[in-house]
Amino acid sequence: MERFVKKIVDLMREEQLFSWQGGPIIMLQIENEYGNIEGKFGQGGKDYVKWAAKMALSLGARVPWVMCKQTDAPDEVIDACNGYYCDGYKPNSYNKPTLWTENWDGWYTTWGGRLPHRPVEDLAFAVARFYQRGGSFQNYYMYFGGTNFGRTSGGPFYITSYDYDAPIDEYGLLSEPKWGHLKDLHAAIKLCEPSLVAADSPQYIKLGPKQEAHVYSENVLGEDLNFSLNQTKSRCSAFLANIDEHNSATVTFRGQKYNLPAWSVSILPDCKNTVFNSAKVAAQTSVKSVESSLSLSSDISLSQQFGTKNNSVYVTKSWMTVKEPIGIWSNDSFTVQGILEHLNVTKDYSDYLWYISRIYISDEDISFWEENNISPAVKIDSMRDVLRVFVNGKLEGTVSGRWVKVFQPVQFVKGYNDLVLLSQTVGLQNYGAFLEKDGAGFRGEVKLTGFRNGDIDLSKSLWTYQVGLKGEFLKIYAAEENDKAEWTDLSPDADPSIFTWYKSYFDAPAGTEPVALDLASMGKGQAWVNGHHIGRYWTIVAPKGGCQNVCDYRGAYNSDKCTTNCGKPTQTLYHIPRAWLKDSNNLLVLFEETGGNPFEISVKTRTTRYICGQVSESHYPPLHKWSTKNDLTPEMQLRCENGYTISSIEFASYGTPQGGAHNKRNVLLVVAHPMTKAHVLFSNNKLPDFQKVQSSRYCASRIGDADGKET
């Protein structure tokens, strides 16, 4: 570990990446959340923390070192907070700044799980509270979601997508309003910077039972807070918080009344005028869509090539196939007595490890089962992540889970039978004490039950081991190795087949939009494009219950709050980076385990076609007007993604566009087309001239009253 850390620090120094060299690196981290598991190692854990800190400091990086969630971090290292909320966190020394190294703006998604979403109102509330109560630095986890390509997803059972409900999604598109609202939040905090850095600590003022203010000022001590801002020359900024989870409140601060929605923070850069409230989202909402692309190619005509079903475009005649052998396929297999641990054998070269043994079944065994109306079964004390049981090449059953018991009935015939246990990993354990001992495959006893003379202990049997798949070993997913397989044409009316390789070719979609592969018609397996492993796929379905019809941002967030996608496959779309694509003849190869229909696979583009927003008298003027303070009218700003321009606008309001007593709720729908950058600005409650376009597709933003209640 010391050699590795030293190598990285030396490399950064050589490339002049540290801040004192003019580079961007202001801080380094040693260890991550070790404090959560330190106690499991006793005194050794405590000694290790001290050693790690001393080792890091000895490297002379000349920037601060931080340890996340490490309350016993040595004096020279800053302990930092990770979590959904860190406004109450204090480091273990007054000499250390308060750092928030992981602000969880979403959560992990597992196969067969619902999709977690963290409301931006709550996320902004958490950030504003952190700075309100003396925070110095915070970092989003994640800010850009990204993708777990190949077999890099951890967990186990984490999906291939790492979207994480982040401000920038897996495809590089802005997730609005999360991105825009956070942008406004940090612009507001930036306006407070002179006061924040001038004061050693804020002054706390109780405004109500669950309402409070924190004031940052050069001479806040001894200042009469009843004076107006104009009566003092000190730089002053204030944060007003309402931590009530249900009710809005009107408070008086410095002789002026302020309305605070429930679970919100207002930011006053001059201790007088509110420029931002965490619960009032003025940023636009983007409605992302996935659109089919006529991009899969073959040597037949266009009318023959594509079939349409449910508004999606599918390939109808361009697939080839080859079967994957069940069991032994190479000379590298070996035979030993007993059950070996999965990762010790595979070295994580592959998800797959075959265990093969031969079982003799006598006439007496057959008679015993028939007379007692029972079946033999494979019984395993514990296994993870996926087990498939084959007898004589036939799949008998599948079990999945993390260290679950197995009782799988099997059907034997008289004489010798080939019993094959296929152990599969779906991401490795990536956190926790002694994770190197977590392993994979089987634990405890492995037996055959239901025999006339009692159970058979397979733990003492001879087993032949085969690592991986033949197709993996031959790399038939790569263009230069593809011909090693004996591919045959696949008939559109062929029955779904297990443990089968498929291949086809497709052209890249026109344009620059991100590309996705829709694998909703498949079962479980892995996919490659031009030799690049785009990840594991699995159409396992999330539970039907547990999702919320209405997401209430108020109150403490947890990963089960505001979930979506109940009753649907956890993931069906898989990101293909355009850098991996050619204009035409892109090779697509899939390994399918459970049986799917490749003829309904489609290539799609991910884009933002609709944007919308809402504004009312209760909103604040845009932050870019703050410096002038001449026009403090609320306004709505709408912008397309790069390469798009607004092509049509739908406007709706209660009252007239020019304003009025009832003009409190306005909604805009904007249709975007790939042309040039553009934005529309509605100011002073006046609409620009435009031709209203009727549309059958509408987008409604969240509309709220002034007190934050949803309408």
- pLDDT, tens digit (0-9, with 9 covering 90-100), for 482-518: 999 999 999 999 999 999 999 999 999 999 999 999 9
Q: C-alpha 326: how far from its chain's center?
A: 34
Does one domain contain both 459 and 503? no
Helix (H), strand (E) at residue 306: strand 306-309
Question: Tell me, what CATH number does 406's domain have?
Answer: 2.60.120.260
pLDDT for 676 equals 36
- For residue 138, being part of any structural domain is answered with yes
pLDDT for 131 equals 98
Q: Is 552's pLDDT higher than 90?
A: yes
Q: Is 678's pLDDT higher than 80?
A: no
Does one domain contain both 36 and 111? yes
Q: How many domains does the chain divide into?
A: 3
Sign of the alpha-carbon dihedral angle for 432, 433, 436, 438 = negative
Backbone angles phi, psi at 72, to 5 degrees: -105, 25
Does one domain contain both 456 and 525? no
pLDDT for 629 equals 62
- For residue 93, being part of any structural domain is answered with yes
Q: Are the beta carbons of 543 and 566 closer than 8 angstroms?
A: yes
Share of the chain above pLDDT 70, in %: 85
Structural domain of residue 434, as residue ranges?
A: 334-468
Question: Identity (one letter) of the amino acid at 245?
Answer: E
pLDDT average, residue stretch 415-421: 98
Active-site residue flag, 592: no
Helix (H), strand (E) at residue 407: strand 394-409
Q: Which residues contact 276 (CB under 8 A, 6 or more apart)?
A: 128, 184, 185, 187, 188, 266, 267, 620, 623
Cα 413 from Cα 369, distance rounded (Å): 11
Alpha helices (runs of H) in 204-358, residue ranges in sequence order:
302-305, 342-346
- For residue 482, being part of any structural domain is answered with yes
Does one domain contain both 365 and 513? no
Average pLDDT for the chain: 88
Does one domain contain both 505 and 558? yes
Other beta carbons within 10 Å of 526: 23
pLDDT for 208 equals 98
Active-site residue flag, 33: yes
Digit-coded pLDDT (tens) for 452-479? 999 999 999 999 999 999 999 999 999 9
Does one domain contain both 319 and 361? no
Helix (H), strand (E) at residue 500: strand 500-506
Q: Which of 134, 128, 121 is nearest to 90 (CA)?
A: 134
Share of the chain above pLDDT 90, in %: 77
Does one domain contain both 459 and 477? no
Q: Are the beta carbons of 182 and 124 closer than 8 angstroms?
A: yes
Question: Identity (one letter) of the amino acid at 7?
Answer: K
The domain boundary, picked from 419, 439, 468, lies at 468
pLDDT for 641 equals 81
Does one domain contain both 160 and 187? yes
Higher pLDDT among residues 155 and 247, named by residue: 247
Q: Which of 645, 631, 527 is nearest to 586 (CA)?
A: 527
Q: Which of 208, 344, 187 is nearest to 267 (CA)?
A: 187
Q: Single out the catalytic residue among 33, 341, 445, 635.
A: 33
Winning range, highest mean pLDDT, from 118-122, 646-650, 657-661, 704-708: 118-122
Does one domain contain both 369 and 317? no
Q: Are the beta carbons of 116 and 563 closer than 8 angstroms?
A: yes
Q: Single out the catalytic residue among 31, 38, 102, 170.
A: 102
Q: Is 687's pLDDT higher than 60?
A: no
pLDDT for 650 equals 77
Q: Is 170's pLDDT higher than 60?
A: yes
Q: How confident is the model at residue 590 (pLDDT cuts 50, 70, 90)?
A: very high
Distances (CA, A) of 4 to 24, 56, 58, 463: 21, 11, 14, 39
Digit-coded pLDDT (tens) for 224-236? 444 343 433 468 9
pLDDT average, residue stretch 310-326: 73
